[in-house]
Amino acid sequence: MKLLELLQNEAMKSKRLILMILVSGVCNAMLLVLINKASEKIDGDRSFIFLASILAVMLFLLAQRYILRQGTKKIQNVIEDIRIKIIDELRFAELSAVEALGNSEIYARMSDDTQRIAEASLDLIKALQAMVLVLFSFIYIGTISLPALVILLLGIVIGGVFFFYNNKSAATVFKEVARKDTAFYQALSDMLHGFKELKINRQKSDDANIHYRMAASEVNTFRVKARFINITSQLATESLFFLVLIGVVFVIPQLQEYSDPNIVKISAAILFLIGPVTLVIGSIPSILEASQSAENIENLERSIRSAKSNTDQYHVGKDNPLDLQHEIALGNLYFEYPSSESNGFKVGPFSVTIPKGNITFIVGGNGSGKSTLLKLISGLYYPDSGIITKDGVPISPDNYQHYREMFSVIFADFHLFERLFGLGLIDEQKVEILLSKLKIDHKTKFKSNTFSEIKLSTGQRKRLALITALLEDKQAYVFDEVAADQDPIFKKFFYEELLFELKALGKTLIVVTHDENYFHLADRQYKLQDGQLISND
């Protein structure tokens, strides 16, 4: 089982935990033996049995306390390792591959699946304790009556065969549950991210709600189906135990003479076993579901790992940007999305030259390929063919990350971090000056490397993104529609002052814009249409 594979490394580190599981199971089984012994000596001295029973209970409780505390700690260590491992894998994956995976898939694996693994792992520990108890109870029954043990084992074998085929079906259902979970998260994501669009259009909201309800209902249907399969197994197993009990009480006495105390002891032992066996069976659905979750996580890691590029094998924190002296050039660059994404949209082949210290505008209608071109220029997408050169030197797997480090980028769908990462301790006064310069100081403050407020309008958030980019002080800036959603005064400031201030500092500026009134300010201008370069001014 994938769950056991996932936990075995951590379990091997804690032999004491395994020992305590054995101790708790043995102590529990000893109580059965001691209680039966005590029932034989109703009129005799039972003080030793009494003290032994108290000792067994105390040892059981101490072992149980240790198991639950250490087990919880070990399980959480496993969950932490999973999450850190996935994040580390994601950091070095290609952007296009992460986009193909989708946020819903990653969220489902990182939240629901890890939570199921944590919960089922504790169930697994309890099941192991119960199995130790069952094993020692079998040994005890065998010392009293071999025929009773044979009947009991026969019942277990019959139940095991039924259980195997039943839970094979449950495992298949849990695979479908995982798929439906991802669809549910996608529907939930649509409801949250598209809230404004749904709020303004009731028909759209109603249709989206129906889709969301259907996704939630499908998850529920398959979960219930899987649980029903297990309930059937549980009832069948309990029925087998009662049949075994009937066999012990009515059949064995016909085969061989037994004293009443022995039959009572065996019956008590079998009744004692029903609880632990039911616990083991009851834990199987969560263990199966967690095993499927472990497989989901393994598949996610495999997908991310296969999306990792050799260009991303670099040492964190030790990547100095390349030094741009003359120009960036794209030679016959071509890129095509997989057919399942963006309907196989492609850009190129085209050749573009971006001189150092120049202002380069990229213009074109929506869907013309501007954002894709920016991702190629900044090294976030790898071209299917063609070459990127810096000062005439080709960008290769050995220096791709160093090439990326030249850029500071604000995409149209940018993410604004509340905290400034990767800049060390920033001079707060310097940030306050920029906040004032970009007319945003009345909306947010900066302290301890953190903006006090980022839940602002789109235009205001873009100004904060600009401040972050300026603080990064990179050689090249890529601005994708940064001036959109801004008032005319700020637009004028952005095009006529800020861009030229950066140009005077020797910065290379690549700007996507629709503002025709400012096209004349660019040193170069490229126009795209349907992924093709149609003019070069």
Sign of CA dihedral 264, 266, 272, 274: negative
**Which residue do the tokens 């019942």 mark?**
155
In this prediction, what percent of the chain has a pLDDT beyond 90? 8
CB-based contacts of 228: which residues, under 8 Å, 6+ apart? Answer: none
pLDDT digits over 413-453, tens only?
A: 887 777 777 777 788 888 888 888 888 888 888 887 888 88
Residue 3 pLDDT class (50, 70, 90 cuts): low
Structure tokens at 338: 């997989």
Sign of CA dihedral 245, 250, 254, 257: positive
Candidates 469, 520, 480, 521; CA nearest to 500 is 521
Q: What does the alpha-carbon distance between residue 295 and residue 306 come to, in Å, rounded to a whole number? A: 16
Sign of CA dihedral 40, 239, 236, 181: negative
Element (DSSP H or E) covering residue 450? strand 450-451
pTM for the predicted model, two decimal places: 0.64
Q: What own/partner pairs with CB < 8 Å and gap ≥ 24 does 456-463 have?
A: 457/485, 458/485, 459/485, 459/486, 459/487, 459/490, 461/416, 462/410, 462/414, 462/486, 463/438, 463/439, 463/490
If DSSP codes are grouped into helix, strand and coil, which group holds residue 333? strand
Q: What does the alpha-carbon distance between residue 56 and residue 408 come to, in Å, rounded to a whole number? A: 67
Candidates 242, 318, 227; CA nearest to 274 is 242
Candidates 99, 128, 108; CA nearest to 8 is 128
In this prediction, what percent of the chain has a pLDDT beyond 70? 81
Mean pLDDT of the chain: 78
Evaluate if residue 314 carries a pLDDT over 50.
Answer: no
Catalogue all structural domains in the chain, each as residue range(s) with its CATH number.
Answer: 2-308 (1.20.1560.10), 327-536 (3.40.50.300)
